[in-house]
Chains A and B, each alone.
Chain A
Amino acid sequence: MPLIEAKHLSKSYGALRAVHDVSFSVDRGEVVGFLGPNGAGKSTTMKMLTGHLRADAGAALIAGLDVAEEAVQAKQRLGYSPEGAPAYGEMTVREFLRFAADLRGLADPAGSVRRTLTLCRLEEVAAQGIDTLSKGYRMRVGFAQAVLHDPEALILDEPTDGLDPNQKHEVRRILKEMATTKAVIVSTHILEEVGELCTRVILIAKGEIRCDESREKFLARGTDPNAVFRRLTA
């Protein structure tokens, strides 16, 4: 059974067709690079997969559980970091993660928080207010809350957006470490990420899937990934 599954997902905002009949599935061990221009429907698809937005048609499944019908069970198996990594700014990093752990009803909340702080290299800012952190740290806090409960399915909306090259490298390193036991979807418009991180590419434009193939196949489409991207999304 795939850990993340989109079945004919569609969503419109008024007259605007944001996502149309999108289907794919992601298995354990896969890191899917979810590519597409801005406004292509990446975030909308992710919001439907995570149960934040209700699909007009189709279904989203996490570990075989429908996110609309069996929401709480599905969400226990899911880690999600929305675009911009929002967090409660007035809390400290540790308080925020502890709140997330308690809310998830984890058996050992203190231990989970400690392990996650180490994994995401957040120990030195653990006692700082999230509002006072630099963008790099804030993105990592968003990432930390997504992996806190060691979920089987991980969905990250532009986790490296706005990071400097060192920070990007760091996030990719952590992701690679974890990827073997999880199904991961990472949305991005940074094409170098495909080569470094992903095992598979799904490219979406104007709300429809334009290609869904292995990294090797995608990279073999041309020497300049940017040109390939422009051609496929035109």
Chain B
Amino acid sequence: MTSPAPAAPGLKPFAAMLRREFAGYFRTPLAYVFLAVFNAFAVSLAFFVGGLYESGVASLDRFFLYHPWLWAFLAPAAGARLWAEERRQGTLELLLTWPITVWQAALGKFLAAWLFLACALLMTLPVAFTVGWLGDPDWGVIVSGYAGSLLCAGACLGVAAVASALTRSQVIAFVTGFLGCFLLVLVGYGVFDELLAGLFGPAGIDEIRRLGLWRNLEPFTLGLVDVRPIAYFLSVAFAGLGLSTIIIERR
């Protein structure tokens, strides 16, 4: 005979996973380096490259303009450890023999990483307050810009999760994740215009650009909250999450 069945674990394993992963970022100095680098770049790109101050307009669109680049670089840096570290330490074998489904574990990891990126983003709020102090910005537009940036971070994290699931090296995970995100940034910038016009015709260019990060972030920075870009970012995020989970399940 068997002893009575253990109580159904419900959401406990998922919550434990989320907590451990989020706290995990702060166990090493990496988190603080990350937060500092993110802030330094976000602010200096907006002021020195984007000319936020010189523009004389109380708006953050020049600040958000560079966020696809920032996330393309920093989301893979934060997401590289998701699975690669488990593989390297051998703890993946442990985790997968504990009573948690791969989906629960993957979602816990992903949301913890996203939450960490949200912390980085929230630390830039003084930029918004500065604009508020200097002028009279439309706060609705600023809120929608932040929401768009956070969604964009999730999409980059989706790409990073796939890269991390494929390797045991965090460095390889970071580089491949960055390349994937970099491609999604470039697609919106018109550098491929001539090539794409040759391949798909002028109308095709616009369709292709819709697949890029920037084109989908732009409406948010103008205060236009639309279903399509939201669906785009969430699709990329959850496609990445799903694919990484399948890769781990089939290891």
**Number of residues on chain B facing chain A (CB within 8 A):** 30
The stretch that binds A, out of B5-13, B164-172, B216-224, is B5-13
Known A71-B101, A77-B2, A107-B7; judge A86-B94 contact (CB<8 A).
Answer: yes
The stretch that binds B, out of A31-39, A95-103, A199-207, A226-234, is A95-103
Most B CB within 10 A of own CB, among A73, A78, A91, A102 = A102
Question: Which residues of chain B are within 8 angstroms of A71 by Cβ–Cβ distance?
Answer: 99, 101
Partner of A82, one of B5, B9, B15, B90: B90
Q: Is the pair B91, A87 in contact by a Cβ cutoff of 8 Å?
A: yes
Partner of B100, one of A3, A52, A72, A90: A72
Complex CA gap A47/B94 in Å reads 10
Q: Is the pair B97, A86 in contact by a Cβ cutoff of 8 Å?
A: no
Residue of B at shortest CB range from A101?
B16
Q: Is the pair A103, B17 in contact by a Cβ cutoff of 8 Å?
A: yes
Q: Is the pair A103, B1 in contact by a Cβ cutoff of 8 Å?
A: no
Q: Is the pair A52, B96 in contact by a Cβ cutoff of 8 Å?
A: yes
In residues 79-95 of chain B, which contact A (Cβ within 8 Å)?
A: 89-91, 93-94
Residue B228, interface by CB 8 Å: no
Residue A45, interface by CB 8 Å: no
Residue B98, interface by CB 8 Å: yes
Partner of A102, one of B2, B12, B27, B96: B12
In residues 35-93 of chain A, which contact B (Cβ within 8 Å)?
A: 47, 50-52, 63-64, 71-73, 75-78, 80, 82, 84, 86-91
Closest CB in chain A relative to B229 CB, distance in Å: 36
Residue A5, interface by CB 8 Å: no
Complex CA gap A77/B28 in Å reads 34
Residue A1, interface by CB 8 Å: yes
Q: Is the pair A86, B12 in contact by a Cβ cutoff of 8 Å?
A: no
Question: Per-residue CB proximity of A4-32 to B under 8 Å, as 1/0?
Answer: 00000000000000000000000000000
Complex CA gap A91/B9 in Å reads 23
Partner of A103, one of B3, B27, B100: B100
**Number of residues on chain A facing chain B (CB within 8 A):** 34
In residues 153-206 of chain A, which contact B (Cβ within 8 Å)?
A: none
Name the prevailing secondary structure of the B interface residues: loop
Closest CB in chain A relative to B246 CB, distance in Å: 13
Question: Which residues of chain A are within 8 angstroms of B24 by Cβ–Cβ distance?
Answer: 88, 90
Q: Is the pair B93, A72 in contact by a Cβ cutoff of 8 Å?
A: no
Question: Which residues of chain B are within 8 angstroms of A64 by Cβ–Cβ distance?
Answer: 2
Partner of B98, one of A75, A77, A88: A75
Q: Is the pair B12, A103 in contact by a Cβ cutoff of 8 Å?
A: yes
In residues 101-119 of chain A, which contact B (Cβ within 8 Å)?
A: 102-105, 107
Q: Is the pair B13, A104 in contact by a Cβ cutoff of 8 Å?
A: yes
Partner of A99, one of B2, B20, B97: B20
Question: Which residues of chain A are within 8 angstroms of B2 by Cβ–Cβ distance?
Answer: 1, 3, 63-64, 77, 152
Question: Per-residue CB proximity of A101-142 to B under 8 Å, as 1/0?
Answer: 011110100000000000000000000000000000000000
Show 30 residue pairs from A and B whose CB-CB distance is below 8 angstroms, ordered by the A residue: A1-B1, A3-B2, A50-B97, A51-B96, A52-B93, A71-B99, A71-B101, A72-B99, A72-B101, A73-B99, A75-B98, A76-B9, A78-B97, A82-B93, A86-B90, A86-B93, A86-B94, A87-B94, A90-B24, A90-B28, A102-B16, A103-B13, A103-B17, A103-B98, A104-B6, A105-B7, A105-B10, A105-B13, A107-B7, A152-B3
Interface residue ranges, B against A (CB under 8 Å): 1-3, 5-10, 12-13, 15-17, 19-20, 24, 27-28, 89-91, 93-94, 96-101
Interface residue ranges, A against B (CB under 8 Å): 1, 3, 47, 50-52, 63-64, 71-73, 75-78, 80, 82, 84, 86-91, 99-100, 102-105, 107, 145, 149, 152
